[in-house]
Chain A
Amino acid sequence: MFHRESGIFKTTYAGDMALYPLPIAKWTVAVLVLVFVVILPLTVHEYYLSILNLIFIAIVGALGLNILVGYTGQISIGHAAFMSVGAYTAANLAVRMDLPFWITLPAGGLMAAAIGVVVGMPSLRIKGLYLAIATLAGQLIIEWTINHVPAISGGAQASIEVDRPSLFGFSFDTQHRLYYFLLFFAAIAIVATLNLVRSRIGRAFVAVRDQDIAAEIIGIDIYRYKLLAFAISSFYAGVCGVLYTYYFGIANYEQFQLIVSIDYLAMIIIGGLGSVLGSIFGAIFVTLLPIVIRILMEDVGALFFTQAEIANVISGLRLGVFGGLIIFFLIVEPEGLNRLWRNIRSYFRVWPFSY
């Protein structure tokens, strides 16, 4: 039951594509479910739960960006803008029409997907650098529009307050309750992505990434799949934005600026491009890093900086370390933390007889 395979013995395509390659995988999943659904929320302090909550939200966004950048190879610097589209759609629906979250959440996602397709349109003609610049323009134009159209942004401060989500009169208003709320969506996002990438669509994405002209020649409608990748990725981003809105109780454009797009790019590069597990690692890493930096700076930084400077220093260091890590991983380990994890695992698989 708790064995691993000693080699690759797959004889069918179905076996190769299976979600659970070995019986042990089912047990791993069962243990993870037990830990996350029962043990963690019962034992962990509220503060750590709030960090977990942020990680769950980040996982949804990182998975979406990874589908676009990691699997389909279309770069996007406008991910945060799609989040803001989702966030403001949901916030407007929730406040003005008093709709529950199970309507506003998909609505936010779909709206973001629609905008994502429009921004992704140029990808039909251009790619690489040009696409990066086009999505950058998309980010800036969406940011500007939200900021300057009071009908969207709710006027003052460009922010809208929303109530906590509730289901059948049960309100998710504490960190504990929000934990289950967010865990549910993070789990759905993970399973949906795992299934997406092993489906016909997912393999078409990978073909487009590896060589789009060759993909077209073997019969993949690359325009359709590029736009589909933008739509799916933006849908995830929109949902991620809605989750942020419900989690903080406010939709504010400052949460979705260009710098957030870079955070998410950092997540998938550090975690590993083109891998679900990598997106999760990246989301965890990038969410925890500022917390670690803050703790370090509050203890050690006091020796070098005055109290007033420390807030600036923390935000500066955070950005600097992200950038440094992006460069480091691109040069040294392009497959990211996911690759490191696989190396460790395959080392222990044959341990202690490695030859």
Chain B
Amino acid sequence: MSEDMEFTFALILNGASIGLMYSLIALGFVLVYKATDAINFAQGEFVMLAGLIVAMLISFESVPLAIAVVVVLAVMIGFGFGLERVVLRPLLGRPVVAVIMATIGLAAVLRGLGPVIFGSETRALSLPIGDEPVVIGPASLPPIQVLGAVVAIVFFLAFSWFFKKSRMGVAMRAVADNQQVAQAMGINVERYFALAWAMAGIVSAMGGIVWGSMLGVDVHLALVGLKVFPVVILGGLDSIGGALVGGLIVGIVESLAAGYLDPYVGGGTKDFAPYVLMILVLMIRPYGIFGKRKIERV
């Protein structure tokens, strides 16, 4: 392979692994939207919260990582349930704009109070995976990205199985499809709404661990959430596979843009390219690659 090809390959590989980590977070967004039609603008803040909790737990010397992970999963599940009960349920049936603004408010609460409660300094969240880069062909990846990508893929397989085969997953799909009919079939719709938020909590907990250990844990971890929107718009808001594909595309595009354009514009294309891509998608195909097209009637 020529030098150019190797450079491109390294960029694509790096982008793909980062992209899989994006799609892990986007998965939380999609799960909630799919089941409850609610839009979660606080997904990045969920991730930040999980990261803050893990970082705080492992800073006590006596707490092993495994316990910290279990605790953060439990806390985030509880948080998801509580959130649905306190904030989202009173807003059922209100215009979509109200839900959007409520989650923006939630994002502000988490971002504001997180540092007050957990301290505002940046903490390291080190996982016992060493820092020997993993060599793949002519390129190499930091181990945390490999771990993140593996976790993302595992979660995608798990959720695909959950929605296709398990009783709860099928019920959830029914709720997503038509709430009234689902209710008539004896499905407790409110319970599944809460469950969807709890699952978003689980995904965010994992996202918080992998992203936190890559970037360090402080309030800026929440900015990862901003990348969720290009991913879900690209893939389609209600498609789990879409989140995966969207994440890969966004990751690769931003990596290539950073590699080829940064020298000309002085950096920062990484944060810019995904949104340009997203605007284009919104103009041409707003429901995304795999999303369901909504037809509106008066």
Contacts and interface: CB of A to CB of B under 8 A. Distances in A.
Interface in B86-100: 87, 90-91, 94-98, 100
Interface stretch (A10-18, A79-87, A97-105, A327-335): A327-335
Q: Is the interface of A mostly helix, strand, loop or mixed?
A: helix
A276 to B, nearest CB: 19
Interface stretch (A134-142, A164-172, A193-201): A134-142
Contacts, number: 139
B298 A211 contact: yes
A324 B116 CA distance: 15
Interface stretch (B52-60, B61-69, B202-210, B278-286): B278-286
A23 interface: no
A125 B101 contact: no
A132 B39 contact: yes
Interface stretch (A34-42, A227-235, A311-319): A311-319
A266 B41 CA distance: 15
B101 A323 contact: no
A133 B41 CA distance: 9
A80 to B, nearest CB: 13
A323 B106 contact: yes
B100 A129 contact: yes
Interface residues of A, number: 48
A90 interface: no
Interface stretch (B1-9, B124-132, B192-200, B264-272): B264-272
A129 B39 contact: yes
A316 B275 contact: no
Contacts of B275: 137, 140-141
A69 interface: yes
B155 interface: no
B111 interface: yes
Given A126-B286, A140-B226, A316-B115, A265 B104 contact: yes
B188 interface: no
Contact of B120 (A126, A141, A312, A326): A312
A21 interface: no
B105 A319 contact: no
Contacts of B230: 137
A319 to B, nearest CB: 3
B282 to A, nearest CB: 5
A325 B108 CA distance: 10
A207 interface: no
Nearest to B45: A323
24 contacts: A73-B95, A73-B97, A121-B283, A122-B279, A132-B97, A133-B233, A136-B226, A137-B275, A137-B278, A137-B282, A140-B272, A144-B271, A262-B108, A312-B116, A316-B114, A316-B116, A320-B112, A322-B105, A323-B104, A323-B105, A323-B107, A327-B87, A327-B102, A331-B91
Which 3 A-B pairs have CB atoms at the shortest separation, nearest pair first? A323-B108, A319-B112, A320-B112
